[in-house]
Amino acid sequence: MHFDDDLEMYVSEIGGVIFACEDEPTDDYEESLQTVAKKYWSNLDYIIEFMMPDLQEVYGDIDAGMIKEKLGRPTIDFDNGRVDYCEQSFDDMHIFSFEFLDDEFKELQYFSIDG
């Protein structure tokens, strides 16, 4: 991980997922992030199902395939249990976010469309 002066956080991309944390990571941190990235991708369909009702309310008739295509890379703040989609391509003004309570991405809450 490297320190990003703009974000004022430590940042790393692992397995197509951007990870960000405020505290300097320990040596074994990257290995655990690789596991989290794999779990994120293996549960992406479940995550999309969780977000879909709110996205359909805002963006109309969309399906899971379209959502998967337009989400962009996730940014996971593992310390705070939050996933942000800053690169989503539904529009150019919103950030999608949700919180996760476990590292299996099965307990999700508080999906929001901010911007």
Per-residue pLDDT reduced to its tens digit, 45-80 = 999 999 999 999 999 999 999 999 999 999 999 788
Give pLDDT, residue 32. 83
Note whether 93 and 33 are within 8 A (CB): no
Residue 27 lies in a domain: no
Residue 25 lies in a domain: no
Give the pLDDT band of residue 25 (cuts 50, 70, 90). Answer: confident
Residue 28 lies in a domain: no
Residue range of the domain that includes 79: 34-114
| Averaged pLDDT of the chain | 90
Residue 19 lies in a domain: no
Residue 11 lies in a domain: no
Give pLDDT, residue 102. 87
Three-class DSSP category at 45: helix
Give the pLDDT band of residue 4 (cuts 50, 70, 90). Answer: confident
Note whether 45 and 71 are within 8 A (CB): no
Residue 8 lies in a domain: no
Output the six-digit token pair for 84: 């942000």
Give pLDDT, residue 72. 93
The more confident residue out of 40 and 25 is 40
Per-residue pLDDT reduced to its tens digit, 36-50 = 999 999 999 999 999
Q: How many domains does the chain have?
A: 1
Residue 18, Cβ neighbours under 10 Å: how many? Answer: 18
